[in-house]
Structure formats: C-alpha cells, structure tokens
C-alpha cells in the first residue's frame, strides 16, 4: 500500500512538472491552464455530472484491469467489452420490451456479453498460448465492426440520421440521476463503481482467490507447486475483468442514454489502462486516479477556446508523460533512494 502510494505521488509530481514545462514552451501559463480545466470540470453541477459520468466508466474498467495485471496479464480489450456490453443491453431491451423479465435480462446482458469476450481471450491464452494483448486488440476491432453492422442493418433508429439504435422505454432507467438538472449523465451507478473498487481491493488482499491471482502473477511455477492452477486463475480473472468492464452498460445505457450510439466511447477502455497503471494496480487508488483523468477529459474540452496555443489533444500528451513517470517510478526504488540519501547525509555530517 505504501509503495503504491509513493509511486502514485511520484508519478503525479513528474506529470505536474511536465505539464508546467509544456505549458511554458507553448507560451501559456500553467496556472491558467489548470484553472481552465478545473473550472470546466468541477465548479458547476452540469460539468461535475459529466466528470463523474466519465469516472464511473473508468472505475469499472480499471478495477478489472487491476485484477488481470496482478495475475501477470495485460489485456487491452476493455474498449471492445464496453462497446459490446452497451449494445447487448440495448438490443435485449428492445427485443424483450419493458417487462420485469426483459429488464432483468437487459441488466445481465451487458456484463455477461463482455464476460463472453473475456472467455474467448482466456481460451486463446490457455489453450493456444496466444498473447492476450494480440487477442484483445483483435477483439476490439471485431466488437466495433459487429456493433456497427448490427446497428446499421438491424437496429438503426427510424427517428435519427445518426448511427444509433432506438430508445429503450423509460422503465429501463434503473439508475437514478445524481443531480436534479435535466439530462445530466451522472447516475447512481457511480456508487456501484466505487463499491466495485473496494470489492476489488478486498478480493485481492483478503481472499483465497486474490492470493492465487497474486501468486500466479509473481511466479506461476511456484504457484503450480503450491497446487494453484494457472489455467484456472487466468480463465477466471480474464472473465471477471471483462465482466467488470461490461458494467459500463449500467452507466451508459441503464443510467443515462437508453440507446446505443456508435462511437459513444471517449476511449474509456484504453484510458482505463492508464488509470490502472497510475493506481499501481491497487483498486482503491483507482478511485482518485479515475476522477483525475475524468477531470482532464472534461476540462480539456474548453482549452481550444480559452487558450491560443493549447488544444484538447494536449491531454493525450499529459497522459503519455504520466505513463512515462509511472514506468520511471517502478524502475526506481524510491525507499532505497531516500534511505541512501539519508545515510549519505549522516556520513557527511560525521
């Protein structure tokens, strides 16, 4: 926990330094840039609602990624899992109608469909020794293609020219808005996302399955000698990780939009990888890391207007520097570094 916190702090400090340097190079005041981002992401209910909406997506996906990373895996399929889960929820709702059974099936459809993608990844990983990065990358493209085809050929809304499905009945809105303002996206699935983060931490640190995940990730040969099945752990963790990403359907469809729109995702699945890395694979730290990146996503939208030389793409540069800072923090033993410095200072005084 302490090492994770020090890594997160170090990464944030390095990222802040890079932010300041890049702003100065671009001819803008770092303080002004930060002020714009905060003003447009937190200081009124409408902007805060969007920020919380973004962070909900990131918490669901990043928590699943933390589990997978602790098992020594690096799946990058959350983007496809989010997309296909939202489509599945919408399609089931449209086909079944707003009956209690239809609503129940729509609720399950998202995470179960995403879990199916996780099972495909697990099959190729365990049975065919395929690398999970390659498999999940291909599944991302496949999910996007399938979603586009189904929407354009079978479920295109007759009331819109945009590539989107019809709208579900109001009875499918299972998660209530967090704010009283009309059409704000933040909803009560935000609380579920926080609960998932705490549950992920509990599973990893307090349960037998969490121990098995960490054991396989640290040394699968030793884990096998201890009676832990690597194949079983990999299969279950990839399925659960995908299902957690699929919970985004609660936030996007059952809490806000009630319809699937092609291209709705603001790269939530890919950004969740950065969040999980920044959180040092600790689900508890996923909460502040998700909120931080949600602030960047929402606040950067106005940089094009309010500054002369900085655009919203500036945030992607910051994300890259934060990943670089994380890698640096992992390579540097901060505790040993500061201990060595203290010993050197004591030696020089002596």
Q: Delimit the domains of the chain by residue range.
A: 49-306
Among the listed ranges 83-87, 135-139, 302-306, which one has the minimum average pLDDT value?
302-306
Residue 341: is its pLDDT beyond 70? no
Mean pLDDT of the chain: 90
Are the C-beta atoms of 310 and 23 separated by less than 8 Å?
A: yes
DSSP character for 72?
A: T
Q: How many helices (H) and strands (E) does the chain have?
A: 16, 0
Residues in the chain: 350
Total Cβ atoms within 10 A of residue 5 = 13
Which of 205, 200, 216 lies closest to 72 in space, CA to CA?
216
pLDDT of residue 125: 97
By percentage, how much of the chain surpasses pLDDT 90? 69
Contact 196, 60 (CB under 8 A): yes
- pLDDT band at 331; cut points 50, 70, 90: low
CB neighbour list of residue 141: distance below 8 Å, 6 or more residues apart: 80
Token pair recorded at residue 111: 């995470």
The residues near 203 (Cβ < 8 Å, ≥ 6 apart) are 67, 209, 210
Q: What is the mean pLDDT of residues 51-69?
A: 98
Higher pLDDT, 269 or 340: 269
pLDDT on residue 62: 98
| pTM for this entry | 0.91
Phi, psi of 91 (to 5 degrees): -65, -45
Confidence tier at 338 by pLDDT (50, 70, 90): low
Let me know: does 281 contact 1? Beta carbons within 8 Å: no
Whole-number Å distance between alpha carbons of 211 and 213: 5
The rounded distance, in Å, linking the Cα atoms of 340 and 337 is: 5
The string of pLDDT tens digits covering residues 276-316 is: 988 889 999 999 999 989 998 898 888 878 888 887 777 77
Interatomic CA distance for residues 343 and 177, integer angstroms: 55
User: Looking at the predicted structure, is the pLDDT value of residue 43 above 50?
Assistant: yes
Domain 49-306 annotated CATH 3.40.50: no
pLDDT surpasses 50 at 343: no
The answer to whether residue 90 scores a pLDDT higher than 80 is: yes
Look at residue 7 in the predicted model and tell me its pLDDT.
66
Of 2-16, 33-47, 90-104, highest mean pLDDT: 90-104
Question: Which of 62-71, 115-124, 211-220, 330-339 is the least confident region?
Answer: 330-339
187 DSSP β-pair partners: 177
Handedness of CA 274, 278, 283, 284 (dihedral sign): negative
As given in the structure block, the two tokens for residue 252 are: 């996007």
Q: Phi/psi at 261 (nearest 5 deg)? A: -120, 125
Q: What is the largest CA-CA distance in the chain?
A: 82
Q: Given a cut of 70, is residue 337 above it in pLDDT?
A: no
pLDDT band at 236 (very low <50, low <70, confident <90, very high): very high
Question: Quick check: 269 pLDDT over 90?
Answer: yes
Mean pLDDT of 207-230: 95
Question: Model confidence at 72, in pLDDT bands (50, 70, 90)?
Answer: very high
pLDDT at 175 over 90: yes
Residue 333 banded pLDDT, cuts 50, 70, 90: low
DSSP 166: P
Looking at residue 339, what is its pLDDT? 56
Q: Which two tokens stand for residue 109?
A: 């459809």
């Amino acid at each position: 926990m302490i090492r994770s916190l020090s890594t997160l702090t170090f990464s944030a400090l390095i990222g802040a330094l890079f932010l300041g340097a890049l702003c100065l190079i671009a001819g803008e005041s770092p303080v002004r840039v930060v002020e714009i981002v905060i003003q447009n992401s937190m200081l009124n209910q409408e902007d805060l609602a969007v920020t919380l909406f973004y962070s909900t997506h990131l918490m669901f996906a990043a928590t699943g990624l933390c589990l997978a990373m602790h098992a020594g895996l690096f799946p990058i399929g959350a983007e496809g899992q989010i997309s296909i889960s939202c489509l599945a929820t919408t399609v089931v709702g449209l086909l079944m109608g707003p009956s209690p059974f239809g609503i129940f099936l729509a609720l399950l459809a998202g995470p179960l469909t995403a879990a199916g993608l996780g099972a495909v990844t697990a099959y190729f990983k365990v049975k065919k020794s395929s690398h999970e990065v390659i498999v999940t990358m291909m599944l991302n493209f496949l999910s996007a293609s399938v979603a586009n085809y189904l929407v354009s050929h079978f479920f295109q809304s007759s009331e819109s020219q945009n590539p989107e499905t019809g709208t579900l009945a109001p009875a499918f809105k299972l998660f209530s808005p967090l704010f009283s303002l009309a059409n704000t996206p933040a909803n009560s699935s935000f609380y579920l996302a926080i609960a998932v983060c705490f549950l992920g931490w509990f599973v990893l640190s307090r349960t037998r399955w969490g121990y098995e995940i960490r054991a396989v990730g640290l040394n699968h040969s030793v884990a096998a000698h201890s009676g832990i099945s690597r194949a079983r752990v990999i299969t279950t963790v990839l399925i659960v990780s995908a299902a957690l990403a699929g919970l985004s359907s609660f936030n996007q469809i059952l809490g806000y939009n009630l319809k699937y729109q092609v291209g709705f995702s603001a790269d939530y699945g890919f950004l969740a990888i950065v969040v999980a890395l920044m959180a040092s694979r600790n689900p508890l730290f996923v909460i502040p890391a998700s909120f931080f990146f949600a602030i960047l996503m929402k606040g950067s939208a106005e940089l094009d207007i309010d500054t002369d030389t900085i655009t919203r793409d500036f945030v992607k540069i910051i994300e890259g520097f934060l990943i670089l800072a994380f890698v640096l923090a992992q390579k540097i033993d901060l505790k040993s570094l500061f201990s060595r410095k203290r010993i050197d200072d004591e030696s020089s005084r002596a």
